[in-house]
Structure 1
Amino acid sequence: MLRTGIAVAATTLLLAGTALAQQPAAATPPAPPDFSKVEIRTTDLGDNMYMLEGQGGNITVAVAKDGIIMVDGQYAALHDKIKAAIATVSNQPIKYLINTHFHGDHVGGNEPFGRDGATTVSEVNVKNRLAAGTTNGLTGVKTPPAAPAALPSKTYSGALHIRLRGRVADLKHIEHAHTDGDTYVWFKTANVLSTGDTFTNGRYPNIDFANGGNIKGMIAAADAYLKLTNAKTRIVPGHGPLADKAVLTEYRAMLVTARDRMAKLVKDGKSEDDVVAAKPFADLDAKWAPTELASKNFIRVVYHSLADKQDQKPLLKRILRRS
């Protein structure tokens, strides 16, 4: 049964950088959101699981007998509203806050929820990206290094299991998908999957190619999710409404079509300007691109995924750590 209820500030640079992660080709940074007008909407997923929507990435809340596991935290300025929304479904403390990737509309809650006592968890590349600062590959907009208190306090590589009484969250790293530090979270007993921005429902995804993202990894993520899920699985996407396996299947088909069309253009030696002018995804735009800018952005990120040389430095670092 679905039940919907309505239940400091991040820096301007952080807001601009993360908004541009969703619309990377914008000429100028958009104005920061008016957080005073944001409402947190709560959807009951069953089995003490909830999806929260507000401003930024979707949140998953998993209630256990001795605490709460939370996936993503939106912006710092929404901490009080998010906490109040969670309090309407449980009085348990938030024990863990999982970051699905490093973009600010997902990790802005790290510092304030950390002050509340939550342990922030991420794949190791998320902490590295936040600590170093990042650059948007299409716009050149720079996001400065995060404050030490905003960095994840626990990191992992490969896979991790988080356990509370009556609740297990299985974390798995998908390499080079939306970024180089993506985590999906599988709540097997509840049949709920949280994907972060490796899956966005009803819109083209951003592929942060400058920070390790690649369309091939996005397809690999979708393949992994289709193996995990069944027709009854509730899928919480990074953005967009609650989804199911049928929606995810359609999303994967779109990614494969985009990859195959772009691969031919790249093989033919087309430039970025050439492929934008060719409008190779025009028939897909009606469903997946709300604006012309969104259409152009997706063309550009898919192009860079396939035309740019893969950065081998992260791979080299992993090899050196193991030697």
Structure 2
Amino acid sequence: MIRTGLAVVATAALLTGIAGAQQQAPPAAPPPVDFSKVEIKTTDLGDGVYMLEGQMLGSIGGNITVATAQDGIIMVDSEFAPLHDKIKAAIAVISNLPVKYLINTHFHGDHTGGNEPFARDGALVVSEVNVKTRLAAGTTNGLTAARTPPASAGALPGKTYTGAFKIRMNGRVADLKHIANAHTDGDTYVWFKTANVLSTGDTFTNGRYPNIDFANGGNIKGMIAATDAYLKLTNARSRIVPGHGPIADKAALKEYRTMLVTARDRMAELVKDGKSEDDAVAAKPFADLDAKWAPTELASKNFIRVVYHSLADKPAAEKKPLLKRILHRS
């Protein structure tokens, strides 16, 4: 009887462990993209500036901005490496001049995947300094714990900047500026003043919740600061190229900012009340926003989680052991 009882207990414990492991298993990876089926859509924004999108049952990768000059092309972001030839062919329809500069708005692979092949073509890859640091070191996704290995040397930016940077070509100027701790810690927006075109990278995603990469320096407060900067810069006639989604105007940007502020304020109350991340997800604080901004239930939950981490996680300096903090102050 004793042995039988022990066997029952052991079996129950084993089943409980299996069930727990199943509950904690990471979500299945999405199926690989068939890049052969992706088509590049080109939208003329006027004054020699264009938006390129990779399309296959929705957008694939981040949006690309192409700005022509008399002596070459400035390109903002590059999607994935397997799309290099298709992107290059789409650019050739616009101009037969070479891509001289490729600007990375941040380090994520759907915006930097084409760095190496375009660099081989002769483009100088430009980014905020943290982009190169992240690419060189490799990164970890804060939501899934998925690890992205370090990029190859050929994929690293050849020119980095801090604060602000200006690219001057014959008949074209691109103003680059760093937004601290927004989508990531290395975000750049690009302003083509004469064309009245703004490229935001993933600090602005039109018609959908953004990803805020809190594990790599992102924070909803920085996202709001980014939209504030864009609203000061643009006017009613501006064309805004978001990181993802269709071309936007200032009215769409204002709506996006309202959503971000609403999300921040609601989550701040939950954090103030001591709610956990799971409590926040269960509360569904953005349920009324989901109809417009969340294409899936997973997108809704992920946005809750990234906003929660933005407001609940302690800054890195505060996570240092007390003795180290005391010695640092001394």
Residue number among 246, 249, 272 corresponding to 1:241 in the alignment: 246
Kindly indicate whether residue 276 of structure 2 is the aligned counterpart of residue 271 of structure 1: yes
Q: What code does the residue aligned with 1:218 have?
A: M
Structure 1 Cα separation of the partners of residues 32 and 118 of structure 2: 21
Q: CA deviation at 1:264?
A: 0.5
Tell me the alpha carbon deviations over residues 258-303 of structure 1, each in whole angstroms, 9 at most, x when there is no partner. 0000001000000001000000000000000011100000000000
Structure 1 Cα separation of the partners of residues 155 and 87 of structure 2: 17
Kindly indicate whether residue 107 of structure 2 is the aligned counterpart of residue 102 of structure 1: yes
Kindly indicate whether residue 161 of structure 2 is the aligned counterpart of residue 168 of structure 1: no
Q: CA deviation at 1:311?
A: 2.1
Structure 1 Cα separation of the partners of residues 47 and 124 of structure 2: 23
Quote the residue 1:30 is aligned against.
30
Quote the residue 2:6 is aligned against.
none
Quote the residue 1:141 is aligned against.
146
Structure 2 Cα separation of the partners of residues 83 and 139 of structure 1: 33
The correspondence of residues 18-167 of structure 1 with structure 2, limited to 5 A, is: 27-54=27-54, 55-167=60-172
The correspondence of residues 190-205 of structure 1 with structure 2, limited to 5 A, is: 190-205=195-210
Structure 1 residue ranges (4+ consecutive) displaced by more than 4 angstroms after TM superposition:
none
Q: CA deviation at 1:310?
A: 1.5
Structure 2 Cα separation of the partners of residues 271 and 289 of structure 1: 22
Bigger-Rg structure (1/2): 2
Report the secondary structure of 1:262's partner residue.
helix
Percent identity, aligned pairs only, is 82
Q: Decide which structure has greater helix share.
A: 2
Quote the residue 2:215 is aligned against.
210
Q: CA deviation at 1:26?
A: 7.0
Quote the residue 2:324 is aligned against.
none
Report the secondary structure of 1:58's partner residue.
strand
Q: What code does the residue aligned with 2:290 have?
A: D
Quote the residue 2:13 is aligned against.
none
Report the secondary structure of 2:94's partner residue.
coil
Tell me the alpha carbon deviations over residues 73-115 of structure 1, each in whole angstroms, 9 at most, x when there is no partner. 0000000000000000101110000000000000001000000
Q: CA deviation at 1:312?
A: 3.7
Relative contact order (C-alpha < 8 Å, sep 6+): which is higher?
1
Tell me the alpha carbon deviations over residues 48-82 of structure 1, each in whole angstroms, 9 at most, x when there is no partner. 00000002000000000000000000000000000
Quote the residue 1:20 is aligned against.
none
Q: Number of aligned residue pairs: give it.
A: 289
The correspondence of residues 271-290 of structure 1 with structure 2, limited to 5 A, is: 271-290=276-295
Quote the residue 2:226 is aligned against.
221
TM normalised by structure 1 equals: 0.88
CA RMSD of aligned residues (A): 1.1
Cα pair distance change 1:117/1:312, threshold 3 Å:
farther
Structure 1 Cα separation of the partners of residues 232 and 265 of structure 2: 22
Tell me the alpha carbon deviations over residues 127-170 of structure 1, each in whole angstroms, 9 at most, x when there is no partner. 00000000000111000000000000000000000010000000
Report the secondary structure of 1:73's partner residue.
coil
Structure 2 unmatched ranges of 5 or more: 1-24, 55-59, 319-330
